[in-house]
């Protein structure tokens, strides 16, 4: 409900989505490093 | 002054006294052994596992452990961001404070999730009580517990052999929070409340000024709004969890956060308590307490050296003021002879310091808060003498391994240990070993990443800031001091300390976004390699100790490790330090302005 109200008040805009995307992107990249390190580690 | 030195001695003595019992207790907690709090907390622990569908017996390999850690921290960051953006719709907001701007909210969420607690907002002006407690307070616990969990996973990697599992992240998180952080924070919060640290949900009261203030427009100001709130509960965990984010903007210089000499002492003690005790936990978990003592000795030697430098710099006063005839000598007052007590002064460099705290206790706090990645302040570091200010900066630039953050400091130091045994192995032509585990190329690559990533973040970030007009315009001082302010901001974020030098308007979109991203890299791009090292070491067999084994608990190795930390850690920054505090100190000594 709060998000709907905020949306109607035009307080939630693309900038919030941008920051959320930035956070997701960072953690997604970090998660991919796990595979990279696993390969480096070898058997 | 003698009393203040006695306070320093008492501080160090009490800290060392608490290392063994607390360290042993934490080892029991992380090894799943019963503790004296089990009868009280075990039902709650089981309930948390049940509602979260966690099987406490199911251990994880390093990738699963790291994935759980990352996903949990992402969830915390997003929840905090949402809370800060929606706080004006939520309860416990008696002042009707609006939403935090998006860039500030991102910075704050990244900062508190990563245990940095850099603050580009003002707590009393920008956060509701709910945001302070449910947002910042909860992250203070969880980010600290996350750091400790990563450490114990690495320690298991060293202690176990021929396995693939390094523990269960959820169990380590829950047990660290329930059995270690919550009880300690509860006790400290009660002690702080007893001394007058505020803890209330009431709106900010109005106080009538004893002397009305005439404003420039001629009107009289007769009232002052006093910011209050549920501060004590948050101050306790901010110190114990090496978080450091102040409930109020002035942090622990604020009389409602740090009202008495006893609160000042207890809070300073809480800053180093868990990081110091974790060395003993480490020693117990790897089955050789001498190893933990060796690491504590490394931390202690560097800490005491830096403390002595900071105390000397701040108690000596400012030579430029001395030239102007300002008396900076300590005086005890003449109350017995009927003189007013106002002539009593602690002496030394008192700019930016609380008169009730004085230069020595301020220097002790500044050294402790930057040796640990705490970042709370009881004086304004920007007003320290150049050398006095260089101490906190240098301690941060060590990579936050001199005590460091809870958990993160010790796993950072273990990366230096790996480098140290590797270099020593090269010298004598033997495959390096640590605690019976062979240190090979993979461990060295990961340890190198853990050391190089903060260096790159700090230097590249500072270089970017000084090359952009928008970033330079946020600096309030010209010359080397202004450069120090920028360097400090990136050093603080790039090592998850969170203290601010001040003198830099960091609440701008550039600094909020760039520093926010830097804090995330500094936290998670070190924690993941630490877990990867754990995953690699746990698979290895232990090599029996032989005549050629390098002992890693002796004074020789302690000295060697100190040399590696100093050479690799801080000397990388010497050119940058020369442009900032060193140039400023030389200018001041020459009697010139800055």
CB distance from A26 to chain B under 8 Å?
Answer: yes
Task: Please give the pLDDT value at position A40.
Answer: 93
Model confidence band, residue B347 (pLDDT cutoffs 50, 70, 90): confident
Distance CA(B347)–CA(B336), nearest Å, equals 20
Task: Please give the pLDDT value at position B345.
Answer: 75
Q: Which residues of A touch B63 (CB under 8 A)?
A: 34, 38
Of B66, B99, B521, which has the smallest distance from its Cβ to A34's Cβ? B66
Distance CA(B561)–CA(B552), nearest Å, equals 9
Contact present, B167 and B66 (Cβ < 8 Å): no
pLDDT of residue B335 exceeding 90: no
CA end-to-end distance (rounded Å), chain B: 31
Closest CA to B401 of B190, B561, B200, B187: B561
Q: Which residues of B touch A42 (CB under 8 A)?
A: 442
Of A15, A22, A27, which has the smallest distance from its Cβ to B70's Cβ? A27
Alpha helices in B196-248 (DSSP H): 232-240
pLDDT of residue B496 exceeding 60: yes
Model confidence band, residue B3 (pLDDT cutoffs 50, 70, 90): confident
Of B81, B445, B521, which has the smallest distance from its Cβ to A19's Cβ? B81
Per-residue pLDDT tens digits for B13-34: 999 999 999 999 999 999 999 9
Contacts 24+ apart (CB under 8 A), B286-290: B286/B155, B286/B158, B286/B159, B286/B435, B287/B159, B288/B435, B288/B553, B290/B553
Q: How far is CA B53 from CA B1, B71, B325, in A?
A: 57, 16, 70
Distance CA(B133)–CA(B238), nearest Å, equals 12
* Shortest distance, CA A15 to any CA of chain B (angstroms): 7
* B177-200 mean pLDDT: 98
Find where tokens 């509960």 sit. B233
* B574-594 mean pLDDT: 82
Distance CA(B541)–CA(B508), nearest Å, equals 52
Task: Please give the pLDDT value at position B49.
Answer: 98
Q: Which residue has the higher pLDDT, B51 or B321?
A: B51
CB distance from A36 to chain B under 8 Å?
Answer: no
Q: Which residues of A touch B445 (CB under 8 A)?
A: 40
DSSP one-letter string for B292-311: HHHHHHHHHHHHHHHHHHHH
CB atoms inside a 10 Å sphere around CB B195: 16
| CA closest to B63 among chain A residues | A34
* Interchain pair A31, B525: CB under 8 A: no
Contact present, B193 and B199 (Cβ < 8 Å): yes
Computed on alpha carbons and rounded to an integer, the radius of gyration of chain A in Å comes to 18
Model confidence band, residue A5 (pLDDT cutoffs 50, 70, 90): low
Closest CA to B381 of B254, B512, B503, B480: B503
CB distance from A21 to chain B under 8 Å?
Answer: no
> What angle separates helix B232-240 from helix B138-159, to the nearest 10 degrees?
20
| CA closest to B445 among chain A residues | A40
DSSP one-letter string for B527-557: HHHHHHHHHHHTTSPPPPP-TT---SSSHHH
Task: Please give the pLDDT value at position B569.
Answer: 73
Closest CA to B366 of B240, B188, B499, B273: B499
Of B524, B528, B535, which has the smallest distance from its Cβ to A41's Cβ? B535
Per-residue pLDDT tens digits for B250-286: 999 999 999 999 999 999 999 999 999 999 999 999 9
Phi/psi at B571 (5° precision): -65, -20
Q: Which residues of B touch A17 (CB under 8 A)?
A: none
Model confidence band, residue B493 (pLDDT cutoffs 50, 70, 90): very high
Which H helix or E strand runs over B349?
none
Task: Please give the pLDDT value at position B428.
Answer: 84
CB distance from A41 to chain B under 8 Å?
Answer: yes
Residues 6+ apart with CB under 8 A from A4: none
Of B85, B90, B535, which has the smallest distance from its Cβ to A16's Cβ? B85
Torsion-angle region of residue B263: left (phi > 0), alpha (psi -120 to 50) or beta?
A: alpha
Residues 6+ apart with CB under 8 A from B43: none
* B420-447 mean pLDDT: 92
Model confidence band, residue A43 (pLDDT cutoffs 50, 70, 90): low
Contact present, B573 and B397 (Cβ < 8 Å): yes
Q: Which residues of B touch A20 (CB under 8 A)?
A: 78, 81
Model confidence band, residue B247 (pLDDT cutoffs 50, 70, 90): very high
* Shortest distance, CA B577 to any CA of chain A (angstroms): 30
Task: Please give the pLDDT value at position A2.
Answer: 56
Q: Which residue has the higher pLDDT, B547 or B241?
A: B241
* Shortest distance, CA A17 to any CA of chain B (angstroms): 10
pLDDT of residue B462 exceeding 70: yes
- Chain length of chain B: 594
pLDDT of residue B577 exceeding 60: yes
| A contact test, residue of B75, B102, B438 with most A CBs within 10 A | B102
CB distance from A25 to chain B under 8 Å?
Answer: no
* B521-535 mean pLDDT: 98
Task: Please give the pLDDT value at position B590.
Answer: 81
* Interchain pair B74, A16: CB under 8 A: no
pLDDT of residue B579 exceeding 60: yes
* Shortest distance, CA B512 to any CA of chain A (angstroms): 11
Task: Please give the pLDDT value at position B122.
Answer: 94
The number of C-alpha atoms within 13 Å of B128 and in the hemisphere containing its C-beta is 23
Distance CA(B540)–CA(A42), nearest Å, equals 13
Task: Please give the pLDDT value at position B568.
Answer: 83
Find where tokens 């969830």 sit. B75
| Cα-based torsion angle of the residue sequence B446, B451, B457, B459 in order, rounded to the nearest 10 degrees | -140
Task: Please give the pLDDT value at position B386.
Answer: 86
Per-residue pLDDT tens digits for B145-168: 999 999 999 999 999 999 999 999
Alpha helices in B136-181 (DSSP H): 138-159, 169-175
* Interchain pair B67, A31: CB under 8 A: yes
CB distance from A40 to chain B under 8 Å?
Answer: yes
Task: Please give the pLDDT value at position B572.
Answer: 85
Task: Please give the pLDDT value at position B245.
Answer: 94
Contact present, B423 and B447 (Cβ < 8 Å): no
Model confidence band, residue B585 (pLDDT cutoffs 50, 70, 90): confident
pLDDT of residue B337 exceeding 80: no
Task: Please give the pLDDT value at position B137.
Answer: 97
pLDDT of residue B489 exceeding 80: yes
Find where tokens 């003189």 sit. B339
Task: Please give the pLDDT value at position A3.
Answer: 54
Distance CA(B518)–CA(B37), nearest Å, equals 39
Residues 6+ apart with CB under 8 A from B493: B111, B116, B118, B457, B461, B515, B518, B519, B522
The two structure tokens encoding residue B289 = 């307490």
pLDDT of residue B341 exceeding 80: no
- Chain length of chain A: 43
DSSP one-letter string for B22-79: HHHHHHHHHTT---TTHHHHHHHHHHHHHHTT--TT---BHHHHHHHHHHHHHHHHHH
What percentage of residues in chain B have a pLDDT greater than 90?
A: 80
Find where tokens 């998660």 sit. A31
Kindly report the average pLDDT of chain B as a whole number: 93
* Interchain pair A37, B90: CB under 8 A: no
* Interchain pair A34, B63: CB under 8 A: yes
What percentage of residues in chain A have a pLDDT greater than 70?
A: 70
Of B90, B442, B528, which has the smallest distance from its Cβ to A30's Cβ? B528
* Interchain pair A19, B536: CB under 8 A: no
Contact present, B174 and B48 (Cβ < 8 Å): yes
Task: Please give the pLDDT value at position A27.
Answer: 97
* Interchain pair B78, A22: CB under 8 A: no
Residues 6+ apart with CB under 8 A from B411: B150, B151, B154, B526, B527, B530
Chain B residues interacting with chain A (CB cutoff of 8 angstroms): 63, 66-67, 70-71, 73-74, 77-78, 81, 85-86, 89-90, 99, 102-103, 105-106, 109-110, 442, 445-446, 513, 517, 520-521, 524-525, 528-529, 532, 535-536
Q: Which residue has the higher pLDDT, B477 or B234?
A: B234
Model confidence band, residue B339 (pLDDT cutoffs 50, 70, 90): low
Q: How far is CA B581 from CA B293, B312, B317, B352, B386, in A?
A: 33, 16, 16, 17, 5
pLDDT of residue A10 exceeding 60: no
* B323-352 mean pLDDT: 72
* Interchain pair A41, B102: CB under 8 A: no
Per-residue pLDDT tens digits for B95-139: 999 999 999 999 999 999 999 999 999 999 999 999 999 999 999
Of B78, B85, B532, which has the smallest distance from its Cβ to A23's Cβ? B78
Q: Which residues of B touch A10 (CB under 8 A)?
A: none
DSSP-based three-state secondary structure for B434: strand
Least confident of B114-128, B308-322, B447-461: B308-322
């Amino acid at each position: 409900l709060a998000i709907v109200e905020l949306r109607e008040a035009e307080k939630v805009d693309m900038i919030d989505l941008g920051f959320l995307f930035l956070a997701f992107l960072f953690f997604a990249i970090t998660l991919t490093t796990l595979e990279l390190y696993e390969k480096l580690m070898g058997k | 002054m003698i009393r203040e030195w006695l306070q320093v001695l008492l501080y160090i003595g009490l800290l060392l006294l608490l290392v063994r019992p607390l360290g042993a207790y934490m080892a029991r907690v992380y090894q799943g052994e019963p503790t004296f709090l089990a009868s009280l907390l075990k039902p709650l622990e089981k309930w948390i596992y049940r509602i979260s569908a966690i099987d406490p017996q199911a251990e994880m390999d390093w990738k699963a452990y790291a994935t759980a850690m990352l996903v949990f921290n992402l969830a915390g960051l997003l929840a905090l961001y949402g809370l800060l953006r929606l706080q004006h719709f939520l309860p416990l907001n008696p002042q009707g404070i609006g939403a935090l701007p998006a860039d500030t909210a991102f910075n704050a969420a990244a900062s508190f999730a990563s245990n940095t607690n850099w603050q580009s907002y003002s707590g009393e002006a920008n956060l509701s009580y709910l945001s302070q407690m449910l947002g910042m307070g909860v992250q203070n616990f969880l980010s600290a517990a996350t750091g400790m969990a990563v450490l114990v996973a690495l320690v298991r990697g060293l202690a176990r052999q021929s396995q693939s599992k390094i523990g269960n992240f959820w169990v380590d998180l829950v047990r660290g929070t329930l059995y270690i952080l919550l009880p300690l924070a509860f006790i400290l919060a009660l002690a702080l409340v007893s001394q007058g640290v505020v803890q209330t949900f009431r709106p900010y009261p109005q106080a009538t000024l004893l002397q009305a203030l005439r404003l420039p427009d001629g009107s009289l100001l007769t009232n002052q709004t006093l910011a209050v709130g549920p501060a004590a509960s948050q101050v306790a965990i901010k110190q114990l969890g090496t978080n450091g984010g102040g409930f109020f903007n002035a942090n622990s210089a604020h009389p409602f956060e740090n009202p008495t000499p006893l609160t000042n002492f207890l809070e300073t003690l809480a800053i180093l308590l868990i990081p110091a005790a974790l060395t003993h936990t480490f020693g117990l978990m790897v089955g050789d307490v001498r190893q933990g003592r060796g690491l504590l000795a490394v931390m202690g030697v560097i800490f005491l050296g830096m403390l002595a430098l900071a105390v000397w710099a701040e108690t000596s006063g400012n030579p430029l003021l001395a030239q102007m005839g300002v008396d900076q000598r300590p005086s005890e007052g003449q109350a017995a002879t009927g003189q007013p007590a106002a002539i009593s002064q602690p002496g030394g460099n008192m700019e930016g310091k609380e008169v009730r705290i004085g230069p020595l206790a301020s220097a002790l706090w500044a050294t402790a808060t930057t040796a640990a990645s705490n970042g709370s302040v009881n004086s304004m570091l920007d007003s320290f003498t150049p050398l006095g200010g260089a101490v906190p900066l240098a301690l941060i630039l060590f990579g936050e391994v001199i005590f460091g953050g809870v958990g993160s400091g010790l796993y950072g130091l273990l990366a230096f240990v790996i480098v140290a045994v590797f270099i020593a192995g090269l010298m004598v032509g033997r495959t390096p070993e640590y605690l019976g585990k062979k240190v090979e190329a993979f461990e060295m690559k990961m340890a190198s990443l853990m050391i190089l990533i903060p260096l790159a973040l700090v230097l590249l970030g500072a270089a970017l800031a000084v090359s952009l007009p928008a970033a330079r315009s946020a600096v309030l001082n010209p010359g080397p001091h202004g450069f120090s302010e920028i360097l400090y901001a990136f050093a603080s974020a790039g090592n998850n300390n969170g203290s601010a030098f001040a003198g830099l308007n960091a609440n701008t979109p550039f600094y909020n976004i760039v520093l926010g991203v830097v804090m995330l890299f500094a936290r998670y791009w070190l924690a993941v390699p630490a877990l990867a090292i754990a995953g690699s070491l746990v698979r290895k067999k232990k090599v029996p100790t032989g005549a050629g084994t390098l002992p890693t608990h002796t004074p020789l190795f302690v000295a060697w490790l100190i040399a590696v930390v100093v050479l690799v850690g801080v000397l990388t920054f010497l050119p940058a330090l020369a442009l900032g505090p060193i140039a400023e100190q030389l200018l001041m000594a020459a009697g010139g302005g800055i």
